[in-house]
């Protein structure tokens, strides 16, 4: 199975995750969803594995810059999917797929538990 780390390269948390994976010898592919996009099937599969409230970063700048109406419209899986596809920056980063359960976010302890 291929391990894929999704995110954007200039995100500090993504940088830390990439460094951790490299330093620990984990073979992975990096998917920059700003440049490479994010297809509906992938985002939908994430939402089947994790609740939308985990995947949509409601503490970040992108969320804060949405209008009140846009924020209020995100109430469930379907509306979160549309927002995630339209504005990939709202997705909590990084997303790690292919290493067991889908992981969202990064801490050294989290990745150590995934790759023990």
For 34, the token pair is 């700003």
Catalytic residue among 3, 4, 11, 85: 11
DSSP state of 56: B
* Distance from C-alpha of 74 to C-alpha of 81, rounded to nearest angstrom: 9
For 91, the token pair is 């997705």
11 catalytic residue (yes or no): yes
Helix (H) or strand (E) holding 20, with range, is helix 12-23
Q: Which residues belong to the active site?
A: 11
């Amino acid at each position: 199975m291929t391990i894929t780390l999704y995110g954007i390269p200039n995100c500090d948390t993504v940088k830390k995750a990439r460094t951790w994976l490299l330093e620990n010898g984990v073979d992975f592919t990096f998917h920059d969803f700003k440049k490479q996009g994010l297809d509906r099937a992938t985002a939908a599969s994430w939402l089947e594995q994790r609740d939308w409230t985990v995947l949509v970063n409601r503490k970040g700048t992108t969320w804060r810059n949405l209008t009140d109406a846009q924020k209020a419209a995100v109430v469930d899986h379907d509306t979160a999917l549309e927002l995630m596809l339209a504005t990939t920056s709202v997705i909590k980063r990084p997303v790690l797929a292919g290493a067991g359960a889908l992981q969202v976010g990064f801490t050294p302890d989290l990745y150590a538990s995934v790759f023990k």
